[in-house]
Structure 1
Amino acid sequence: MQGHGYGQPVKQPPHTAWLVLLRVLFVAIGLFSIGFLAWAMMLRLAAVTRRSLDWGLFIAVLAADILSITLLSVEPGVEIHTAAGNFAMFLLLGTLVATIVYYLTAETRHFMRRRQAYAAQRPAQAAYACPGPASPYTTATVPPAPAMPVGPHTPPPVPHTPVPPPPQRPAPTHIDQVRAELDELSDYLRRHDGRHDSHESGR
């Protein structure tokens, strides 16, 4: 059974100069299109973060841009004269400003977290890749058996039967020690009584 192991490794984030170039490019696309292509920034952000929130905001920005284009397309003439046209321009420019602010903030924060996670996992990978010194208890210490010559007069190998070690006498317990002391005391009293009787009979 396998343990928890290591988590999903974090890939090294792109270089900061490349990220800045991409941010400038997508913001310029939104500005030069006067907000009609502001959804491109949200598409880039959702593809990078892969969060459901960013995908939802991408759909919302795309819908706002489509609505603005639809309202401006029905405006008579080149200039805006109706309330619908004014609302479309307000929606278009407001969506553009909000998208630029959110895109720059969210993408910068995302790659900052990725860079911190990548820097944190590098010492752990280095420690895992460089094992410590081998323990002397893990290596085999039994010397190899000598090779026996092979020839026509070579006797067949005799199997060695392991000799069991002699049984060891168990250490005396406390009861055995007390019993031995009582036996010695009885012998001493018995000898003392014998000497006393012989002394009395001599008198």
Structure 2
Amino acid sequence: MQGHGYAPPPPQPPPTGLLVVLRVFFVALALLSMGFLAWVAPLRAAIVTRRPAEWWFFAGSVVALGTSFALFSTDHTDDFSSSNGTAGMTILLLNAAACAGYYLYADIRHFRRRRQAYAAHTSLMPGMPGYAYPQPVPPFAATTAPSTQQPPYAPAPMTHTPVPRPPVPAPPQRPAPVRINQVRAELDELSDYLRKHPGGQGGSHESGR
């Protein structure tokens, strides 16, 4: 069962040089056409940004262009010198300037935000190659390289504490026999007696003779 994985990164913005060339082209198209092609610039901004505000601005530029054409149709002079022709030309030029300025504003803001979002996404995943998609794990990695990662909540190893044994009492020593002590005392008395009477034994033999 597969998880959600990583979210796809935002699209990488075009190079700055290409954006500058496109902006110069659409601004020049709006101004050099005297406003007749000014609606192309807000249309480009609406397609790129996909925001309702840009689409409303594009619709307003088309309405302004239609109004200026309606005023031109009521002017019967060759150089649009009547009041209707002057009003139509003024609306046309103002619409061209507004379309060029708003296109630059919307385009620069949109690609700045895209560049910031892309930079923030890549900074969060510096180690992921390419667009930071999850890379597949080789099938032999699980068998050749044992994993050293431990579970986050591994139970602590249980240590066996030895139970102290009660001391074994020494066997009671038996008292020396009473008879040995008595014999020893008699021998001591006899030795004392012989030391006190050194000639006692000889005298007894002589008296006996």
> TM-score with structure 1 length normalisation?
0.59
Which residue of the partner structure matches residue 20 of structure 1?
Answer: 20
> Over residues 126-169 of structure 1, what are the superposed CA-to-partner deviations in whole Å (9 max), with x where a residue is unaligned?
345589x984256xxxxxxxxxxxxxxxxxxxxxxxxxxxxxxx
Q: Which amino acid aligns with 2:54?
A: D
Specify the structure having the higher radius of gyration (Cα): 2
Q: What number of residue pairs does the alignment pair up?
A: 139
Q: Which has the higher contact order (CA 8 A, sep 6+)?
A: 2
Q: Which amino acid aligns with 1:120?
A: A
Q: For residues 44-193 of structure 1, what are the structure 2 equivalents within 5 Å? A: 44-127=44-127, 135-136=147-148
Q: Distance in 2 between matches of 1:27 and 1:134?
A: 62
> TM-score with structure 2 length normalisation?
0.58
Report how far residue 86 of structure 1 moved: 1.8
> How many percent identity over aligned positions?
44
> Over residues 26-60 of structure 1, what are the superposed CA-to-partner deviations in whole Å (9 max), with x where a residue is unaligned?
11111121001110000000000000110011011
1:46 touches 1:54 (CA, 8 Å); kept in 2? yes
Measured on the aligned residues, the alpha-carbon RMSD in Å equals 3.0
- Partner of 1:120, secondary structure, is helix
Report how far residue 100 of structure 1 moved: 1.4
Which residue of the partner structure matches residue 144 of structure 1?
Answer: none
- Partner of 1:126, secondary structure, is coil
> Over residues 55-76 of structure 1, what are the superposed CA-to-partner deviations in whole Å (9 max), with x where a residue is unaligned?
0110110111122122113311
